[in-house]
Structure 1
């Protein structure tokens, strides 16, 4: 269970709902978007510290929220190291998982994450599933197939992603596969295309509880998955899925 972009609701609303259910989660931190200028819509570092102290994982989502494939390896490294530095300044352990801003990724990104010893990284729903940018379905993560630095999103919240889509995502978590869910703001005040209404979110979490789902952070995948293992070609599983769907 993951939350991107440092929306104000992360601490103000989401954390309380998760604690009620005893769920783990990862909050992916960036100082991009409106983080530095708009504290009505984005959390403060003090609130990020509170999320950390509550037992949630703080993950890396880059300094400026750039399109990572457009950066050089050196620029990627600067983006990543900045958030690591900020976490250290606030007494938060070094992030070990990453989320690609805007779901943009490349082999160069994967290699840089490897050099910095990241364990897992979450991508979006594509290219296997079409992404209209307003919430959608994606593949389940198959640890025996997928590269740990290209973990697919099985569902991300938005106006076009409904309860039936959450139920579908949960149904994909079988035969060793893992459903990976992504939320942004609850609500997403600046980005309505990835909005989730608070009451819908409560219903989503209630459903996960009713289904007795094991709801964890990205880093806790290491309790079930060896992040050192993965295909030599990180993109081979994606190409194989695309080929099967043709």
Structure 2
């Protein structure tokens, strides 16, 4: 793979991402990020119970508020289905639905994607490329085992990884603690980028990806106090040309 670097990737570069549109991302996490001046991507789906359980999930007005605050809104498909089990036409329609919802709420068309449940495959990558995404984030596998309750993973290396298969370096959950967090950060050097994934803070419906609010506050304070540059996934385009393959 011969990705073209736009500029040198600095050490201590961290991509911060959030999945599933949990309400606490808007009410608790985002104000902390804003106070520190951090970038982040929020991946929105209308699957799970997004449309019915509004104590657990954002409204589209909440999503618009994140966009207005400068955060990236990413595409996480309409139904949150395993993309490896979807025909290309169905996946394309799911992607187009979220794009349309963003347009309705005057949110920029998403340029990055996150694989629901971390499942990914070559056919889905082709659909994403046809859709025009610049980057897409996957999970920690196959390089690292995934327990489903928080794990370590590989750093993103643009010279090794396809831009539509950006790995997660740290997936928060009950099995992922401060030592795992700092381990993930130590990977952000020598041209490698640390990619962090969170869900709800707290996560009402999915305890296996839950992050305690106090832990999250500690994580963000550590990033700020130790001079990490925290960006959204779309901001990788400042460093990597996604069209250079």
Q: TM-score range by the shorter chain?
A: over 0.9
Once residues 125 and 153 of structure 1 are traced to their aligned partners in structure 2, the CA distance between those partners, rounded to angstroms, is 5
TM-score, normalization by structure 2: 0.93
Deviations 1:113-163 (CA, angstroms, capped at 9, x unpaired): 110110000000001101100000000000111100000000011000000
Shift of 1:210: 1.7
Once residues 10 and 31 of structure 1 are traced to their aligned partners in structure 2, the CA distance between those partners, rounded to angstroms, is 15
Once residues 229 and 171 of structure 1 are traced to their aligned partners in structure 2, the CA distance between those partners, rounded to angstroms, is 28
Once residues 127 and 211 of structure 1 are traced to their aligned partners in structure 2, the CA distance between those partners, rounded to angstroms, is 30
Alignment equivalent of 2:174, drawn from 152, 155, 159: 159
Once residues 229 and 152 of structure 1 are traced to their aligned partners in structure 2, the CA distance between those partners, rounded to angstroms, is 19
Shift of 1:211: 1.8
More strand by share: 2
Structure 1 residue runs of 4+, over 2 Å off?
A: none
Q: CA RMSD in A?
A: 0.6
Mapped pair 1:22 → 2:34:
no
Alignment equivalent of 1:86, drawn from 77, 101, 118: 101
Deviations 1:50-79 (CA, angstroms, capped at 9, x unpaired): 000000000000000000000011011011
Alignment equivalent of 2:156, drawn from 121, 131, 141: 141
In structure 2, the partner of 1:57 is: 72
Mapped pair 1:176 → 2:174:
no
Mapped pair 1:72 → 2:95:
no
Deviations 1:205-242 (CA, angstroms, capped at 9, x unpaired): 01111221110000011011111134xxxxxxxxxxxx
Q: Considering Cα pairs closer than 8 Å and 6+ residues apart, tell me whether 1 or 2 has the greater RCO.
A: 2
TM-score, normalization by structure 1: 0.93
Deviations 1:156-199 (CA, angstroms, capped at 9, x unpaired): 11000000001000000000100000000000110000000000
The unaligned stretches of length 5 or more in structure 2 are 1-15
In structure 2, the partner of 1:234 is: none
Once residues 110 and 57 of structure 1 are traced to their aligned partners in structure 2, the CA distance between those partners, rounded to angstroms, is 21
Aligned length: 230
